[in-house]
């Protein structure tokens, strides 16, 4: 990979570029959602995911499902699991993007922090999910 060069315009990579753009434009709302869901889930090891098929929507990725996927892929996503285990949820956001036969780790440090983003959002989690999923549908075209 050559850093600084644009992503190829093929369908296999287009969703990644569109997902990056969606995250950039919705960073604070995503941080608020991630924090709110983590509070709802408690001390579990679940991770927030974005499944693009059949249309973009949020999912809960259990630790067991991610470990099973890692085993099937001969430990090729071990680094992703390591980041999900060690990132600082009070300061950072980690989301698993799921495409057909591909995953993408979304990892960023919002300003302000996720707890402050959550405090600033003036809606409940269900409404925030609906708003973000609608935006994803508008921004991300994923080949079926």
- Give phi and psi for 15, each to the nearest 5: -60, -35
CB 114 within 8 A of CB 29: no
Question: What's the half-sphere exposure (Cβ side, CA atoms, 13 Å) at 141?
Answer: 4
Asked whether residue 139 carries a pLDDT value surpassing 60, the answer given is yes
Instruction: Please state the pTM of the whole predicted model.
Output: 0.88
Measured CA to CA in angstroms, residue 113 lies from 24, 31, 53, 103 at distances of: 15, 8, 30, 25
Q: What is the pLDDT of residue 142?
A: 72
pLDDT score of 20? 94
Place of tokens 């075209």: 141
pLDDT in tens, 106-125: 999 999 999 999 999 989 99
Residues 6+ apart with CB under 8 A from 77: 66, 69, 70, 103
pLDDT tens digits along 58-110: 999 999 999 999 998 888 999 999 999 999 999 999 999 998 888 999 999 99
């Amino acid at each position: 990979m050559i850093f600084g060069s644009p992503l190829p315009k093929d369908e296999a990579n287009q969703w990644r570029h569109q997902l990056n753009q969606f995250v950039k434009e919705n960073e604070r709302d995503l941080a608020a959602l991630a924090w709110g869901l983590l509070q709802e889930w408690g001390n579990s090891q679940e991770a927030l995911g974005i499944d693009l098929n059949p249309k973009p929507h949020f999912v809960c990725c259990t630790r067991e499902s991610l470990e099973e996927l890692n085993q099937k892929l001969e430990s090729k996503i071990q680094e992703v699991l390591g980041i999900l285990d060690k990132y600082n949820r009070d300061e950072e956001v980690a989301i698993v993007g799921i495409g057909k036969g591909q995953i993408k780790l979304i990892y960023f440090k919002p300003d302000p922090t996720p707890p402050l983003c959550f405090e600033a959002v003036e809606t409940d989690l269900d409404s925030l999910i609906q708003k973000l999923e609608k935006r994803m549908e508008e921004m991300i075209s994923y080949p079926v």
